[in-house]
Chains A and B, each alone.
Chain A
Amino acid sequence: SAVISQKPSRDICQRGTSLTIQCQVDSQVTMMFWYRQQPGQSLTLIATANQGSEATYESGFVIDKFPISRPNLTFSTLTVSNMSPEDSSIYLCSAGGTGVTEAFFGQGTRLTVV
């Protein structure tokens, strides 16, 4: 199993600013993922954070808006750039979930953009 610490747990930000969310795993993991959960909705995968290379983004998500870092096998960051109220969501970090095993999730970052 893996324990994931995600911070901040919540934030209220002004439009036009950027927020960086940190995700720390207590053990080395190959796969790390970032999800967005809009109010009342399910989880949508933003990207796979690859260690040592650029993240792999899903359709509808771009690096300029959601830059991701993965400097090692236990840590990743997601930045939400140039925020607008439409970016108000819960952002979740996940590790594992290789497809044959379960995924572990951080507690999420509840972002409100005003």
Chain B
Amino acid sequence: SQQGEEDPQALSIQEGENATMNCSYKTSINNLQWYRQNSGRGLVHLILIRSNEREKHSGRLRVTLDTSKKSSSLLITASRAADTASYFCATSLRGGYNKLIFGAGTRLAVHP
């Protein structure tokens, strides 16, 4: 079963704008990861944030984690048409054996 929800389900923006996607989860986690999927193909890992971290950056990506609210956000700055994809958060559950539980995902469309 899925760990949580993401919003928005779909996001449409213009190139150059920022895109923010949110993820909520239900149980205690070891870490939270964000993945991108282009056109229903394989997933590509973007960034991992540990439960004791609050913010992490990687290039144009900024991820925050609020364990008190059980939520995370992914910000893509200065978006490009090539950022058009589905974005998923995935959590590794504390106390469980090693597996990832994926959120519902956000479909991002960036228009030139």
Contacts and interface: CB of A to CB of B under 8 A. Distances in A.
Interface in B62-90: 88, 90
Interface of A: 4, 6, 31, 33, 35, 37, 41-45, 48, 59, 90, 92, 94, 97-108, 110
Nearest to A104: B45
State the main secondary structure of chain A at its contact with B.
strand
A46 to B, nearest CB: 11
7 contacts: A37-B40, A42-B105, A99-B93, A99-B99, A100-B30, A102-B45, A106-B42
B48 A102 contact: yes
Interface size on B, as a range, is 20 to 34
A23 B30 CA distance: 27
Interface in B22-56: 30-31, 33, 35, 40-45, 48
A12 B89 CA distance: 30
| Most chain B beta carbons < 10 A, residue from A48, A59, A97 | A97
A105 B42 contact: yes
Contacts of A106: 42
Contacts, number: 71
B40 A99 contact: no
B78 to A, nearest CB: 24
A44 B45 contact: no
Contact of B99 (A37, A45, A100, A101): A45
A78 to B, nearest CB: 15
A110 B41 CA distance: 9
A99 B98 contact: yes
A34 B40 CA distance: 16
A12 to B, nearest CB: 16
B45 A42 contact: no
A31 B100 CA distance: 11
A63 B31 CA distance: 30
